[in-house]
Structure 1
Amino acid sequence: MKVNVHDPRGEELAQVLTRATAALAQVPSPRVDAELLAAHLLYDGSRSRLQHAALMGERLTPEQVAEYEALVARRVRREPLQHITGSAPFYRLELAVGPGVFVPRPETELLAEEALKVLAARTESATGQLRIVDLCTGSGAIAAAIKSELPNAQVFAVELSEDAIPYTRKNLEPLGVHLVQGDALTALPELAGTFDAVLSNPPYIPPANVPADPEAALHDPDMALYGGGEDGMQMPSAIAARAFELLTPGGLFIMEHDDTQEEAVAELLARVGFEGCYPVRDLNNRPRHSVGYKPRPLEPLD
């Protein structure tokens, strides 16, 4: 949609943004959200173009104002910004998201970055094609980030949810990721023992820890949030065991978890059989991911 600059009956964009910012006072970032919604509607998502237009005194038609205020009203009701715009930034990508799929979080980018750091060295020395799988892929965020940086790798992604799959497919098929709709605990049996890396952001929240943000509590699917059991560790435990089965000796496993689960996950990985384990901390120094390696067989003694 184009802005009508010269309509004398129009309202200045800057005034509309100020009013929207006030209406959004209860959301965490009122001005940012007001600008992102307007940029989505009027400037193909470009916030810099929007800000320039506001500085230049551009005006909106009454129809444009009404359409914009309808979007603002949805955000006031705490509908996720990403659902309204239909996209979420992740790593260096824009992913399609909407109702029924978990909106990827910035902290999960650290999982992808850690995986790429480890796998980059292996790419240089590997004699064959790297094989990587993202279990409980949701929107496909982790798989997409990995494939975008390692285009020659064979990347798989597994997702069970019927509601999430349309978004997953839209995000992953253009990149050439092999998408499997099915149970992460049983998928890809024919490839067990062949993966160089298994990555996962499984559901892990304990049932008592309902997210404080309405955007997550009311709009993220429960099956993507709650890990099962009193401590939320039921699904992470099953994912770790399945990862061990899928990995080749020396293979890499990285899993996201709650910052209260560091000790439980460390014990889990040791019990499953992983070695060389260590936590990865987020920008607030909270343990949010754990790394482990499937042991290589002992070299025979001469």
Structure 2
Amino acid sequence: MTAAGLGHDHGRTATLRAAVRGAASLLAEAGVGSPDHDACALAAHVLGVDRLDLVLPPPLPADFTSRLAGLVERRCRREPLQHIVGHAFFRHVRLEVRPGVFVPRPETEVVAEVAVREALRVAARRVPVVVDLCCGAGGMAVSVAHEVPGSQVHAVDLSGEAVALTEDNARAVGVTVLTRVGDATDPRILSDVAGSVDVVVSNPPYIPPHAVPVDPEVRDHDPDLALYGGGPDGLAVPRGVVTAAGSLLRTGGLLVMEHAEVQATAVRELVAARGVFDDVETRDDLTGRPRMVVARRGGAS
């Protein structure tokens, strides 16, 4: 590379770093929780790359600064980053994200990991059957299908928009997920596979009606259908999911369900009260918070 080329690259790098630094400052002032990360993600989106390289960046388009400013303004209004860039990374896949469908969260990746590990264990003997109840954008269903090749994965959601997005995400990743628009709390759901499922995994709505989320990204943009779990404790939908799981799982099958940190005891109790689950336990997320219940289907009916 010539000296002139080196100078050009240095100028481009300096321009990009200054733009990202300025964007992060504006986002921080607007109360965005991860301003540096979001500034880099927005700049990467403008440049058409998944991840930003501040050392050897690609050529900057002539309208880079103005386009970045427009995206930063949207993010400062607390529009979710995933809606602005149109995707979210979940475990090993990239998912399309659309307004009107719950945005996949990093903490749910740990819930998916438990399901993946159990499906892999079963796959050593036969084809595992996995059901994702309340699938949203399809992160868990698509991840299982991607990481456990040959598995039979079903996904259910009451939202037709969510099911359509799950189908599109599965197609984009190159996996097969059998989808259905339906009530995940209906014990007759997926009656064609009832009693033969190895894993039921779920991130159901579980927020109580009085616990309105503080973050505008969640409160103003995630659909209420995917947030509020019903009943005074927010656990009406989770109770229904547990009942449905009891019908779907084979003896020895695994239930994995996300819940709020403060609901750990109540969720363990409602799973145990179903009367068909053994080894009911709470497990932590990556930050050490109790965020999921795991239980095995016993032999009782």
For the criterion TM > 0.5, the same-fold answer is: yes
SS of the equivalent of 1:142 reads helix
The letter of the residue matching 2:127 is: Q
* 1:159 CA displacement: 1.5
Query: Aligned ranges for residues 62-77 of structure 1 at < 5 Å?
Result: 63-77=63-77
**Shift >3 Å, 4+ stretches:** none
Could you say which residue in structure 2 is the equivalent of 1:35? Answer: 40
Letter in structure 2 aligned against 1:180: R
Tell me if the contact between 1:205 and 1:227 (Cα under 8 Å) persists in the aligned partners: yes
User: CA-to-partner distance for each residue in 1:189-230, whole Å, 9 max, x for gaps?
Assistant: 222111111111000011111112111111111110110111
Preserved CA contact (<8 Å) 2:47 2:60: no
Q: Which residue of 2 aligns with 1:85?
A: 85
Which letter maps to 1:44? V
Task: Select 2:242's aligned residue among 240, 243, 256.
Answer: 240
Structure 2 counterparts to residues 275-294 of structure 1, below 5 A: 275-294=278-297
Which amino acid is the alignment partner of residue 106 of structure 2?
Answer: P
> How many angstroms apart in 1 are the aligned matches of 2:294 and 2:64?
49
- Tell me the equivalent position of 2:264: 262
Stretches of structure 1 lacking an aligned partner (at least 5 in a row): none
| Alignment-derived partner of residue 133 in structure 1 | 131
1:37-56 paired onto structure 2 within 5 Å: 37-48=42-53, 51-53=54-56
TM-fit CA distance, 1:93? 1.1
Secondary structure of 1:106 counterpart: coil
Closer, same or farther: CA 66–107 of 1 in aligned 2, 3 Å: same
Identity %: 43
Matched, 1:98 2:98: yes
Q: Residue 99 of structure 1: CA displacement?
A: 0.4
Q: CA deviation at 1:151?
A: 1.0
Is 2:163–2:180's contact at 8 Å kept on the other side of the alignment?
A: no
* Separation of aligned partners in 1, 2:24 and 2:112: 34
1:202 to 193, 200, 204: 204
Checking the alignment, whether the CA contact within 8 Å between 2:163 and 2:179 is kept in structure 1 is: no
Question: Residue 156 of structure 2 aligns to which amino acid in structure 1?
Answer: V
| SS, match of residue 138 in structure 1 | coil
Q: Deviations over 1:107-142 (max 9, x none)?
A: 111111112233332222x2x321110000000011
Distance 1:212 1:69 in 2: 26
Q: Could you tell me how far apart the structure 2 residues matched to 1:149 and 1:18 are? A: 37
Other structure's SS at 1:199 match: strand
User: Cα 1:209–1:253, aligned 2, differ >3 Å: closer, same or farther?
Assistant: same
Corresponding residue for 2:145? 147
Quick one: distance in 2 between partners of 1:214 and 1:169?
Answer: 28
Q: Aligned equivalents of 2:244 and 2:208: distance in 1?
A: 21
Q: CA deviation at 1:297?
A: 6.2
Match of 1:189 among 167, 188, 191: 191
Structure 2 unaligned residues grouped into runs of 5+: 1-7
Cα contact 1:13–1:53 (8 A) shared by 2 = no
Aligned equivalent of 1:249: 251
Match of 2:298 among 270, 273, 295: 295
Distance of 1:60 and 1:148 partners within structure 2: 35
CA drift of 1:60 comes to 5.1
Contact 2:110 2:286 in 1 (8 A): no
Q: 2:300 & 2:167 partners in 1: Cα distance? A: 37
For 2:253, give the aligned amino acid.
G
Q: How many residues align?
A: 285
Deviation at 1:145, TM superposition (A): 1.2
Q: Secondary structure at the match of 1:206?
A: coil
Bigger drift between 181-190 and 230-239 goes to 181-190
1:184 is displaced (CA, Å) by 1.6
- The 3 A distance-change label for structure 1 pair 122 and 22 is same
Contact 2:155 2:179 in 1 (8 A): yes
- Matches of 2:69 and 2:236, distance apart in 1: 43
Within 1, Cα distance between the matches of 2:185 and 2:286? 31
**Which moved further from structure 2: 175-184 or 75-84?**
175-184
Alpha-carbon distance in 1 for matches of 2:21, 2:300: 64
Quote the offset at 1:255 in angstroms: 0.6
CA-atom RMSD in angstroms: 2.2
